[in-house]
Amino acid sequence: MPAITLSTPYAQSFDSLALTPVGVDLPWNNDSTLPGWYASRSVYRVGTGSSNAGALYSFGSADSAERALGSVASGSTGTIFYGARFINDTSAPVTTLTVRYTGEQWRNGGNTTPQALDFAYRIGGSDLTSGAWVDVNSLDFTGPVASSTPGALNGNDTANRVAITGNLSGLTLAPGEELWLRWADADDASFDHGLAIDDVSVTIGDLPPAAGVTLIESNGSTSVSEQDETTDTYTLALNTVPSGAVTIRIVADESQVQISQDGVNFFAALDLTFTDTTPATITVRAVNDTVIEGSHTSILTHTVTSSADPAYASLSLPSVTVTIADNDVSLPITKIHSIQGSGNSFDPAFGGIQTIEGIVVGDFQIAGATPFLRGFYVQEEDSDADSNPLTSEGIFVFDNAFGTDVQIGDKVRITGEVNEFTSTAGGRTSSLTQLRNLTEVVNLGSGNPLPTAAVLQFPLTGNLEAVEGMRVTVPEPLVVTEHFELGRFGQVVLAANGPSNQPGTDARLDQYTQFNAPSVSGFSAYLAQLAQRRLILDDGQTVQNPDPILLGRGGNPLSASNTLRGGDTVTNLTGVLDERFGDYRVQPVAPVDFQPSNPRPATLNLGGTLRVAGFNLLNYFNGDGLGGGFPTARGAESLAEFNRQRAKTIAAILGMNSDVVGLIELENDGYGPNSAIQDLVNGLNAAAGAGTYALIDPGTPNLGSDQIAVGFIYKPSRVTPVGAAATVPDGFGQGAFDADNRKPLAQTFRQTDTGAEFTAVINHFKSKGSSAGKPGDEDAGDGQGLSNGTRLRAAQDLAAWLATNPTGTSDPDYLLLGDLNAYALEDPIRALENAGYQNLVSNTSYSFVFNGQWGSLDHALANGSLAGQIAGATKWHINADEPNVLDYNTNFKSANQQSSLYSPDPFRSSDHDPVVVGLNLTTPTNQTNPINGTPRRDTLIGTAGDDIITGFQQEDRLTGNAGNDQFVYVSLRDGRDIITDFTVGQDQIVLRPLLQSLGLSLDFASAVNGGYLSLRNRAEGALVFFDADGAAGPARGTALALVRGVSIAALNTAANFGF
């Protein structure tokens, strides 16, 4: 085919190139695929920029008919050439051609070096590669994107394309003579970009004058002075006569200069309208202010705001930089220690407007979208500090985006108003001395030595106000003792070792009653000691729910894989001592290098042949059990949240690998197919295999009336339930489980491979969070908190109820588990210990953290017969140590954090650590046979072995027969029984459950001496009386039993009674 003719303007859009299939070699035929166009390749491909394969390309969006001709010269493919062949088909020589095209970039190859298509032409010749070519750099296309991140680009986007126009001048193209235009894409070093040409046009003749403006400053620059408000001028003119009016707006970037068109009336902004090329003169005048700025500048911007001529509509116009001479004088310098004074707020003699100089020691200005603290801290140089230890040398400067950027080490001069910034949190108010309403921030130089940091010594008995706003450092190791507000406010509480630190623990703060008997005076003194061991570490921000959360291990942000656990340590902490939101706090000036001193625990290894656990699930509520019903009264607020909670809970339970698990804070919605406990069993079995776990159904629609309940799951392959589960009946004992405490659940289990049995009891006592309004429930200030009386009565009723053998077991082994909401030395735990139960885990073990103080609310206690069968017991620290922001909740978390802060692992599956016990069960050689009566009159006859006989209410006739028999009394309503065959020194009248139901702690001697227990002669034998308030009280005694055939003298010994 003949060459492209020049007698008429030529245009090529490349839209006839193939748009499918992508990435397949298609034939390229010179002068045919595109008439008049040639390439150095015989094939080309359809591409979107996603491929880095070296080739000639038809570039465009997927399936779009808008195409461009381009290339990727990767993979040592050599230079790729493509271009067009033209002929002068006119009767006169062609001396000038105008070439226009659009360069487009369709791929960023990951190379940070820009790459170009090289433009050249040649007169005559027969191909694109041979002969001499004239290089025209003004028509080269250089790709606008060059970054290290490879990927496809849309070449049709404005940011990825460049319009190119130029003249080929000085040509001598005779009639009939041919001319070649070509673009060359070289195989550049490293990865190549994808470059293309589009919308090529070629016409004979010169370019018409381009639209634009000419800006001429009268003296080659523009300078003004605040003194006398001097002026300067410049002119602005259009380069061509527009086809319609063009309006240009001129704006100053600050209130430092004003502009005028007539030299009389001055404004901060000005609109000029042009209809021809006549220049406009703009007069610039300085604004005489009172700010000390030194020589400074202002920028005048020019923007086309409206244009009837399309050529001027989108023009980018030059700006003018105005240099301004200042005429203001600095105020006298006030020392920071003079402003701070020796009190808790600034010295009023140095209030009002003050000017300070000092070194920036903490930079917390606004950075992008993050406000940080909206200011910075300045401290006097060491040479300017005073000798008064009570006056601080530092101060906070609230610049609130004043506009002068500072960095640590800068020496600055600042003028502003002295002020106390007050803030409140948790009922506590703090006051921070600051400068605000700034009028001057002058940087006097960078890289200065920092003032010496004040050393904070623990215990913090000194006056922290004296170092407010100053550099501080803590040489000794500090441990994380609280991270409750890490996700919400980005802060943690650190603690140092101190006198109140207990042996066997790290430096974390302990709960008082975990190691100390309750005491009003002792607790008050203890809290005072704790206050001297704690220090808040903040993140230098005021935002809530920061993303990222800066305080994680190793100086890196927090994530599910980079936690920050209680007990992790930091040494040589350095920052600025701030005071806000009710506390002094350190604001760090560099990433904080927390060390993993408390690593996440590995798999449990307790020993024993059977494993039992108690686990507070933190409100496991499954909606309606069908995927809906959210939010519920507690727990997850949506199905998505519940699924996250469920995955973590299942991981935790499987990690315990326990054969029996007592569960706490289950939704109290029964035991049907849609219940919460059945949902959990389903999830466990889906993960561990069908039939791995089963649940205990106590045979009641609900367990008590609370929204939450306890429950049991177990492994049928390892244990078998013996008999029915039991719970405390309403009205039992003191009624502790009628309303305020969740009802316990007891179940006897038989170990499959040994046949040995034990009874597990799962419990959840009333929390410390509120008062149940019963006797002893107000906070006594002794460390036990609210509702201690209700919890104590629960412990007493629990022990009394268990003494009745509620499951009917013949095995004496009992294991109590659960969240008793009482620390190790509090009254409820002591009551259970007095009833014969032993706490299996030492006081140094914890399960919960509250207010930065660690202790155990979750316990495992065994009675005497089981205590010798314990192989090991521990708290599995998967939850209390972990920040609560790593839990399943999605509230207050960004989309990124909902992913980065979550993992379906056991960690932070709840707020309580599970307690796990290993057992080596044995079968008792002498079985004790429980024999229970009813609330009616009964005749109960024992066996030839050892019997536990409980008649309960009404007058019962009790016969023990042979063996060591126990006659048990639970309440005063059990009285006036007849014991027909009591053997002195062998049988016992057991009063322990009765005492517990009355809240009494007595032994035989104190019961007799106090008038509680008395014996009276009757013809048939000895009559046993019990008086609930002893001899000193007004109540009358109750006859419990007539012991036939036994005299008072024979019966009146401690061996015959069980206390």
Q: Is the dihedral of CA 818, 653, 685, 669 positive or negative?
A: positive
Instruction: Please tell me the chain's helix, strand, coil percentages from 3-state DSSP, rounded to the nearest 5.
Output: 15, 35, 50
Task: Characterise 665 by phi-psi region: left (phi > 0), alpha (psi -120 to 50), beta (else).
Answer: left
Helix axes 676-688, 639-656, angle to 10 degrees: 60
Confidence of residue 76 (pLDDT cuts 50, 70, 90): low
Q: Determine contact, residues 795/838, Cβ cutoff 8 Å.
A: no
Q: Please give the Cα distance from 942 to 984 (Å, whole number).
A: 17
DSSP per-residue codes, 394-431: EEEEE-SS-S----TT-EEEEEEEEEEEEEEETTEEEE
Q: What is the DSSP letter of 512?
A: H
Confidence of residue 923 (pLDDT cuts 50, 70, 90): confident
For β-strands 454-455 and 428-445, DSSP reports them as: unpaired
Name which of 447, 359, 365, 363 is nearest 400 in CA terms. 365
What pTM does this model have? 0.63
pLDDT at 369: 67
The order of strands in the sheet holding 320-325 is 222-225, 320-325, 296-307, 246-252, 269-274
Strand partners, 949: 931, 967
Q: Please give the Cα distance from 908 to 905 (Å, whole number).
A: 8
Q: Is the dihedral of CA 733, 735, 740, 743 positive or negative?
A: positive
Amino acid at 589: V
> Has residue 1035 got a pLDDT over 80?
no
> Has residue 924 got a pLDDT over 70?
no
Give the list of residues 6+ apart from residue 912 with CB closer than 8 angstroms, or none: 615, 616, 618, 664, 819, 847, 848, 857, 858, 879, 880
Which of 187-196, 649-658, 696-705 is least confident?
Answer: 187-196
**Average predicted confidence (pLDDT) for the chain:** 93
Q: What is the pLDDT of residues 740-789, one digit of tens each?
A: 999 999 999 999 999 999 999 999 999 999 999 999 999 999 999 999 99
Q: What is the pLDDT of residues 383-431, one digit of tens each?
A: 999 999 999 999 999 998 888 999 999 999 999 999 999 998 888 899 9
Largest CA distance in the chain: 154
Q: Please give the Cα distance from 828 to 1008 (Å, whole number).
A: 26
Rg (C-alpha) for the chain, rounded Å, is: 44
> Has residue 925 got a pLDDT over 70?
no
Q: What is the pLDDT of residues 469-490, one digit of tens each?
A: 999 999 999 999 999 999 999 9
Which of 546-560, 761-775, 1005-1019 is least confident?
Answer: 1005-1019
> ω before 631 within 30° of 0 (cis)?
yes
Q: Please give the Cα distance from 707 to 107 (Å, whole number).
A: 60
Mean of pLDDT values over 554-583: 97
pLDDT at 767: 98
Confidence of residue 1 (pLDDT cuts 50, 70, 90): low
Backbone angles phi, psi at 992, to 5 degrees: -55, -50
Q: What is the pLDDT of residues 700-739, one digit of tens each?
A: 999 999 999 999 999 999 999 999 999 999 999 999 999 9
DSSP, collapsed to helix, strand or coil, labels residue 222 as strand
Percent of the chain predicted with pLDDT > 90: 81
Helix axes 788-802, 827-834, angle to 10 degrees: 20
Mean of pLDDT values over 182-200: 91
Place of tokens 């701030």: 578
> Has residue 696 got a pLDDT over 80?
yes
Q: Determine contact, residues 144/159, Cβ cutoff 8 Å.
A: yes
Q: What is the pLDDT of residues 54-73, one digit of tens each?
A: 999 999 999 899 999 999 99
Q: Please give the Cα distance from 80 to 67 (Å, whole number).
A: 18
Confidence of residue 174 (pLDDT cuts 50, 70, 90): very high
Mean of pLDDT values over 937-942: 92
Which of 188-202 are b and which e, b meaning 16 or more Cβ less than 10 Å from the residue's Cβ?
beebbbbbbbbbbeb
For residue 904, the tally of other CB atoms under 10 A from its CB is 15
Give the list of residues 6+ apart from residue 498 with CB closer than 8 angstroms, or none: 458, 459, 507, 529, 532, 533
DSSP, collapsed to helix, strand or coil, labels residue 327 as coil
Q: Please give the Cα distance from 722 to 565 (Å, whole number).
A: 41
Q: What is the pLDDT of residues 250-259, one digit of tens each?
A: 998 767 899 9
Q: Would you mind telling me the total number of residues written for the chain in this entry?
A: 1059
pLDDT at 209: 64
Confidence of residue 927 (pLDDT cuts 50, 70, 90): low
Element containing residue 992 per DSSP (H, E): helix 992-998
DSSP H helices in 465-519 = 486-489, 512-515
pLDDT at 515: 96
Q: Please give the Cα distance from 885 to 484 (Å, whole number).
A: 8
> Has residue 330 got a pLDDT over 80?
no
Q: Determine contact, residues 707/742, Cβ cutoff 8 Å.
A: no
Mean of pLDDT values over 446-470: 95
Amino acid at 100: R
Separation in Å, CA 837 to CA 518, 622, 802, 831, 865: 20, 35, 11, 9, 10
Give the list of residues 6+ apart from residue 335 with CB closer than 8 angstroms, or none: 356, 380, 384, 386
Q: Please give the Cα distance from 968 to 970 (Å, whole number).
A: 7
504 or 792: whose pLDDT is higher?
A: 792
pLDDT at 982: 95
Which of 496-529 are b and which e, b meaning 16 or more Cβ less than 10 Å from the residue's Cβ?
bbbebbeeebbbbbbbbbbbbebbeeebeebeee
Residue 382, token pair as written in the block:
């060491």
DSSP, collapsed to helix, strand or coil, labels residue 148 as coil
pLDDT at 179: 96
Mean of pLDDT values over 544-563: 97
Q: Determine contact, residues 105/144, Cβ cutoff 8 Å.
A: yes
Domains and CATH numbers, the chain: 4-204 (2.60.120.260), 213-325 (2.60.40.2030), 336-451 (2.40.50.140), 471-588 (no CATH), 615-919 (3.60.10.10), 929-1058 (2.150.10.10)
Q: Please give the Cα distance from 941 to 938 (Å, whole number).
A: 10
Q: What is the DSSP letter of 844?
A: T
Backbone angles phi, psi at 373, to 5 degrees: -100, 0
Give the list of residues 6+ apart from residue 1039 with CB closer than 8 angstroms, or none: 975, 976, 1023, 1024, 1025
Q: What is the pLDDT of residues 357-395, one digit of tens each?
A: 999 999 999 877 677 899 999 999 999 999 999 999 999
For residue 572, the tally of other CB atoms under 10 A from its CB is 11
Mean of pLDDT values over 921-929: 71
Name which of 147, 140, 78, 82 is nearest 114 in CA terms. 147
Separation in Å, CA 36 to CA 178, 774, 892: 12, 100, 63
Mean of pLDDT values over 894-913: 98
For residue 730, the tally of other CB atoms under 10 A from its CB is 12
Q: Which long-range contacts (CB under 8 A, 24 or more apart) does 314-320 make?
A: 315/211, 315/212, 315/213, 317/213, 317/215, 317/248, 318/213, 318/215, 320/215, 320/217, 320/222, 320/234, 320/284
For residue 428, the tally of other CB atoms under 10 A from its CB is 10
Q: Please give the Cα distance from 753 to 810 (Å, whole number).
A: 19
Residue 109, token pair as written in the block:
């190859």
Name which of 621, 616, 651, 615 is nearest 633 in CA terms. 621
